[in-house]
Structure 1
Amino acid sequence: MSSLPFTLKDPALFNNEAYCHGEWIGAKSGKRFSVEDPGSGQCFTSCPDLGEEDVDAVVRSSQKAFEEYRLLNPRTRAELLLKWHHLIRESRDDIATILTYETGKPLSEAFGEIDYATGFTWWFAGEAERIRGDISTPSAPGRRVLVIKQPIGVCAALVPWNFPIAMILRKVGAALAAGCTMIAKPSPETPLTTLTLAYLAEKAGFPKGVFNVMTTSNENTPSLSEAICKHPLVQKVSFTGSTRVGSIIASHCAVGLKKVTFELGGNCPFIIFDDANQDLALAQLTSLKWRHAGQACVTANRIYVQEGIYEKFLTKLVEHAKTIKLGHGSMESVTMGPLTTQRGVDKAKSQVKDALQRGAKIAHKCQVPSDSELRNGYFFGPTILRDMDSSMLVTQEESFAPIAGLYKFKTEAEAVKLANDTDMGLASYVFTRDVNRSWRMMEQLEAGMIGLNTGSSSAAESPFGGMKMSGYGKESGKDVAIAEYLISKTITMTVESASL
């Protein structure tokens, strides 16, 4: 602990071993991988590099736990979730510190993620007791039909590095509320907060094996994930990540006909009409676009501004960008941290270079810090590009970086066409004061989530998920999210007439 670049109020919250059946374990191979601080580029700890040979024992632990946990009273499951929720809230300061050092995001955003994420533990604690079956009288005489809902079994969560706490609690919260057990495979960049959550789940009283965590390197991630997906005892897989990897996961799960939930690529349009409240649009855009240095699936990837306000709005956006303080996330004055990986920086540079070669112009670019302590960090300054068009990589791909590309449009029909000109459909945002236009846009935009005069489209009580190549299935929300972890059994029975 003395070698860590931070101190914790409760050192027990820091764990760097994998977790199975209530025990901290290493890899059978004995190998480990390094965890880096994106703000400095320095390795500060390591975790076990589990391989496919480690999968069977972990899955069998989860299956053993499932056989008992599935029978637990829903009220008891709810109480365990609430206890876990309160322990996470009590450890908020320490968890935020760990989160900042493994993701790079500023402390203020780390606290924001924890507050957002614990909305799921609170919500699913309530959902545990709302699972209901059904009973009906069919057309055939003398019969009754019952439908009962039961937990599907051992589940797996394959989660990304950008919001590691939120992704875990959104998936695991639903599974545990339903009566399933869960194996989490965090990203190699951000395993530590997941291990902290596992420690607190044990402290909350969840039985051994209900929540297991497998850590692994980028090198072993493909084979380990495949082994989890194809294991015969795993019944459900929830994956958040890129569309490309989602397609691979889908093929693995098809082998055993596993139930799957996918939240994949975004490429989300943000449309601002001439009649919009520009100050509101600016506030929502900047909160959405710059959060975690643009590394969010629901971020504004393509910003369409109607021609009548294009120049005025661009000026306002540039002025706001000038107030951003770039630096290490642990510094209180910092409002934007580094990207989480070097490959993210390389991709961002490539996208900007491509846009400039195709006619875009830089309206603003924040300089990367030159401090000796930050020189090796994965920094990319917030960059605003003007005169964008559909030929550019930024238009066609998720940036996952603080690149704000502005496009000009004339008519509503043109805005709809441009917004829908992507194979993804996670979220779309529209700013207008015209209620009729709001309804038309809501119905015509091809996205699973629509933000009308807001840049916030996610909460525990509302369904989260996309369409087209952005995936299928829903996370969070009433009924739909927990249904992803349930099976329905139909029982048909004969009721004989009473003898006279």
Structure 2
Amino acid sequence: MTERYQLFIGGQWRDSADGRTMPAVNPFNQEVWAQIPVATKGDVADALAAARRAYEGGWRQTSGLERASLIHRLADLIDANAGRLALLETTDNGKVIRETTSQMGYAARVYRFFAGYADKIWGQVIPLDQKGVMDMALREPYGIIAAITAWNSPITLLANKLAPALAAGNCVVVKPSEHASATTLEFAKLVEQAGFPAGVFNVVCGEAEVGKALVDNPQVDKVSFTGSPAVGREIAAMAGRNLRPVTLELGGKSPNIIFADADLDRAVVGALAGIFGATGQTCIAGSRLLVQRPVYEEVVSRLAERAGRIVMGDPRDPATEMGTAANAPQFNRILGFIESAKQDGARLVAGGGRASDGALASGFFVQPTIFADVHNEMGLAREEIFGPVLGIIPFDTEEEAIAIGNDTPYGLAAGIWTQDINRAMRMVHAIRSGVVWVNTYRALAAQGPFGGTKDSGFGRERGEQGLLEFTTTKNVMIDFSGDVRDPFSMKL
């Protein structure tokens, strides 16, 4: 039976104004399993108006303690419904159930982390030069947040935005990706059940025109976007026309660097996790593996052997290690990059095409693919593939690793594998990226700020910095000196 979803606007479930829907397709078997409403421009305007009413009508005056209580209740509901949400997300985007299950627990942790901040958004008292004058910097919510999320991890990406936005006292209108909208709509049921006032959280679905209608509306006070750099540029330009601030969490072409003195057992596992976890469909994928020459061939051989044993199958089966590409366009894009890498002369050591044996035949399965002897000028090393395709690049010296690692338009993440603490610290400071892992990879924490530089975007999610992204500063100066000032001279 096909599930039929509705938009969530102002605390009400409703069809889109013109009744239009789009299919949700299971990438494992290409079956349509749900119908998703496609919002009109009027629906978007209604959602923003509902958010504004909620904000001005009381939400902005709620105490931090009240907000914290609601957010904690929401986290409890996520935990209680984690199994169902994980299964739905796996059905929607093909990510393996063992990961979507852990992601639900992680999302609940993010909400609890920011709930703890809700009653601790403190300002500052600032000492001034003048006597008899007190200065305060207050932190206040922006108001209405437009949040746009990607298809690879809808619930966790939403948590990174919604949890701090709510903790800070904002209202939110979210547009999930048209390729994976169902779990965000299911999540809205939990928001409703938790008891949030109508309009504090709203969901509108659809393709690019819905996102444009949302971002370009002057009712929006801030935009938070996760997606590709190309779309991020459009988002920033649209928001800029209304002089609205933007947080952009975009793509990456992250260097994962293995030195000869590394613990290779751990490093090889980290390299595998960095590119084949989540089928490589993650912005932090360690898609460029830099390996020092003394251990280069050993690492290539070990990775190729392990890649050949990766268990592919139904993402809903806990035994499956790697699922499908999330949708047909992404599937075809990945295969296109593989063919280009072959033509560019990279040495194929594992995979290299579509996986179509037995039960895999009907799904968007790509073989775990590894190319060795890659040069950093190749398209394989320059462009974000967003799939299970690894390029291995040899290097000789630490200086060469730094030069190759930084030679990219992106700057999101990096990995360093070495047992030399001095080298690790030098590399941490030399690599230009927002996140650096040392002797681990693809590890997350609610407390740690996350975000990139260069074409990977700007602003931060998670951690205290992630909370402050959803607040604006108001300065208050109070003169209690009783002095009568010169009206024609600025008081210093």
Which range, TM-score by smaller chain?
Answer: over 0.9
| Equivalent in 354, 357, 373 of residue 370 of structure 1 | 357
Structure-1 separation of matches of 2:147 and 2:282: 18
Say yes or no: does 1:86 pair with 2:76. yes
| Equivalent in 452, 462, 466 of residue 476 of structure 1 | 462
Structure-2 separation of matches of 1:127 and 1:282: 38
Structure-1 separation of matches of 2:468 and 2:453: 18
What stretches of structure 1 move > 3 A for 4+ residues in a row?
Answer: none
| 8 A contact 1:153–1:235 mirrored in 2 | yes
Note the C-alpha offset of 1:456: 3.1
What is aligned with 2:21? 32
Instruction: Structure 2: state its 5+ residue gaps.
Output: 484-492
Note the C-alpha offset of 1:222: 2.5
Deviates more, 1:14-23 or 1:103-112: 14-23
| 8 A contact 1:449–1:457 mirrored in 2 | no
Structure-1 separation of matches of 2:76 and 2:376: 47
| 8 A contact 2:274–2:287 mirrored in 1 | no
Say yes or no: does 1:202 pair with 2:192. yes
Say yes or no: does 1:268 pair with 2:258. no
Letter in 2 for 1:254: G
Structure-2 separation of matches of 1:122 and 1:381: 38
What is aligned with 1:312? 298
| 8 A contact 1:267–1:398 mirrored in 2 | yes
Structure-1 separation of matches of 2:382 and 2:274: 19
| Equivalent in 296, 300, 310 of residue 282 of structure 2 | 296
The residue correspondences of 1:225-304 to structure 2 (distance < 5 A) are 225-304=211-290
| 8 A contact 1:178–1:485 mirrored in 2 | yes
Letter in 2 for 1:55: V
| 8 A contact 1:15–1:192 mirrored in 2 | no
| Equivalent in 120, 137, 149 of residue 127 of structure 2 | 137
What is aligned with 1:189? 179
What is aligned with 2:377? 391
Note the C-alpha offset of 1:15: 6.5
Structure-1 separation of matches of 2:387 and 2:127: 56
| 8 A contact 1:174–1:481 mirrored in 2 | yes
Normalised by the size of structure 2, how large is the TM-score?
A: 0.95
Q: CA-to-partner distance for each residue in 1:350-400, whole Å, 9 max, x for gaps?
A: 2111111121121111861433x5433211111111111123221111111
Q: CA-to-partner distance for each residue in 1:25-53, whole Å, 9 max, x for gaps?
A: 11112111110001011111111111223
Letter in 2 for 1:66: Y
What is aligned with 2:114? 124
Letter in 2 for 1:181: C
Q: CA-to-partner distance for each residue in 1:191-236, whole Å, 9 max, x for gaps?
A: 11101111001101111111100011xxxx3222222112121101
Note the C-alpha offset of 1:24: 1.0
| Equivalent in 431, 438, 453 of residue 439 of structure 2 | 453
Structure-2 separation of matches of 1:338 and 1:137: 58
Letter in 1 for 2:328: Q
Structure-2 separation of matches of 1:340 and 1:189: 8
What is aligned with 2:481? 496
Q: CA-to-partner distance for each residue in 1:303-361, whole Å, 9 max, x for gaps?
A: 01111001111111122212211112112321111100112221222211111112112
Instruction: Report the secondary structure of 1:284's partner residue.
Output: helix
Letter in 2 for 1:450: V
Instruction: Report the secondary structure of 2:116's partner residue.
Output: helix
CA RMSD, Structure 1 to Structure 2 (Å): 1.4
Letter in 2 for 1:305: V
Structure-2 separation of matches of 1:94 and 1:223: 30
Instruction: Report the secondary structure of 2:222's partner residue.
Output: strand
Structure-1 separation of matches of 2:325 and 2:157: 18
Structure-2 separation of matches of 1:439 and 1:305: 18
| Equivalent in 73, 95, 115 of residue 85 of structure 2 | 95
| 8 A contact 2:133–2:478 mirrored in 1 | yes
User: Would you say how many aligned residue pairs link Structure 1 and Structure 2?
Assistant: 481
| 8 A contact 2:4–2:34 mirrored in 1 | no
Instruction: Report the secondary structure of 2:205's partner residue.
Output: coil
What is aligned with 2:165? 175
Note the C-alpha offset of 1:491: 0.9
What is aligned with 1:321? 307
Normalised by the size of structure 1, how large is the TM-score?
A: 0.94
Instruction: Structure 1: state its 5+ residue gaps.
Output: 5-13
Structure-2 separation of matches of 1:261 and 1:416: 28
What is aligned with 2:52? 63
Note the C-alpha offset of 1:497: 5.6
Letter in 2 for 1:484: E
Instruction: Report the secondary structure of 1:234's partner residue.
Output: coil
What is aligned with 1:8? none
Structure-2 separation of matches of 1:99 and 1:286: 23
Letter in 1 for 2:477: T
